Amino acid sequence: MNYNILVINPGSTSDDIGYYRGQEPVFEVTVRYSMTDLEPYEGKNVLEQLPLRKKLILDYLIDHNIPLEEINAVIGRGGFIKSVSGGVYEVNEQMLADLSSGRYGGIHPSNLGGILAHEIAQIAHCPSFIANPVVIDEMQPLARYSGMPENPRISIFHALSQKRVARMIANKLGKKYTEINCIVCHGGGGITVGAHCKGRVIDVNNGYEGDGPMTPQRSGGVPSSGLVQMCFSGKYTERDIKLKLRGKGGLVAYTGTSDVKDLEEFIRTGVKRPGSMIFCTREQAEEARDAMVYQIAKYIGAMAVVLKGQVDFIALTGGLMNSKVIPQKIGEYVSWLAPLYVFPGSEEKIALREAAQRALEDPSCVKRYV
């Protein structure tokens, strides 16, 4: 059966929304907020933007002549709630309280996804959901050990993207996601590599907080003694260190840019575009890019060990995989382990639509947040 589904994926300065009748999009659009729109909210809790964002989404529905009463479900990107297992969750009062309070990891723009979905669904008199939020935790006990009992490894990763790609490839192979073992790498501003075992991500790096390979703007795992010395050297504030870990680490620290497309054009031609922030030589840029690839491949190899070599396939997804070079170079390291599939981009709206479709087709699969 075909259902009419509204998808909401909030970002810091935009809402990525889509409306679907069955599998056909009525519209897919990124609603961007101008500096003028956001100026009244500068320095304030992001929740104060809810009326603005809700109105613009409702206006889009009106502009496309979509009556609210035809909507069968609204689904939003999952935010920072308590750790849960993978799946589709109906938005309830406990989830709304946790998203609004920032109890688990603060109030990130993604927290607005579940709240906006709920508020619009109330008007439309339909259910609201989230699916596979970044805080999915299916890690096996051994994966949690860090060497410091006070500082265990935790699971924060691109769950929505990783699980969709894994499920999609499994279907192409004529199997269920719960029947296969695979390794999925999502590469973007952050990079996460997950070991998927029979439908559960039993080990994955916490890409949000900087664990794992270096990325275009994150340092990844760094030598611990050196980091401690930096922290107590008196040269850096706490904010400086946090920015080195997330925001100004990785490729941007070595090259001056986190724009991989710009960097690869410089590597290819040796010419910096007008306004480019690249400060290194062509050779240094290539080596830094290749170092990131090397680290990604190492993490894929580590996850193959986690799965004891029983890997049905390896999948590469996310914006980084739009590169013509990066997937190829990763493949040179890891393609001997298992068949390699590349799906550039993340298609999070499609992943959310498919999750809502599953929830409407089989209400028994919907999980309750407690």
Average pLDDT, the chain: 94
Q: What are phi and psi of 330, to 5 degrees?
A: -60, -45
- pLDDT at site 31: 78
How far apart are alpha carbons 367 and 95 in whole angstroms? 12
Q: Can you tell me the mean pLDDT for 40-48? A: 82
Beta carbons of 46 and 160 less than 8 angstroms apart: no
Given 3.30.365.10, 3.40.228.10, 3.30.420.40, 3.90.1150.10, which CATH number is that of 4-137+348-367? 3.30.420.40
- pLDDT at site 111: 92
Q: Is the per-residue pLDDT at 298 higher than 90?
A: yes
- pLDDT at site 108: 82
Q: Is the per-residue pLDDT at 186 higher than 80?
A: yes
Q: Could you tell me which of 105, 159, 94, 109 has the C-alpha nearest to residue 9?
A: 109
For residue 360, what pLDDT band results from cuts at 50, 70 and 90?
very high
Q: Can you tell me the mean pLDDT for 311-330? A: 96
For domain 159-344, give the CATH superfamily: ATPase, nucleotide binding domain (3.30.420.40)
> Alpha carbon 241 to chain centroid distance?
23
226-285 tens-digit pLDDT:
999 999 999 999 999 999 999 999 999 999 999 999 999 999 999 999 999 999 999 999
3-18 tens-digit pLDDT:
999 999 988 777 889 9
Beta carbons of 92 and 370 less than 8 angstroms apart: no
What are the tokens at 227? 């980091």
pTM of the model as a whole: 0.90
How far apart are alpha carbons 275 and 296 in whole angstroms? 29
Residue indicated by tokens 């990604």? 296
Residue ranges covered by each domain of the chain: 4-137+348-367, 159-344
Distances in Å between the alpha carbon of 98 and those of 107, 108, 115, 220? 9, 12, 10, 28
Domains 4-137+348-367 and 159-344 are alike in CATH topology: yes
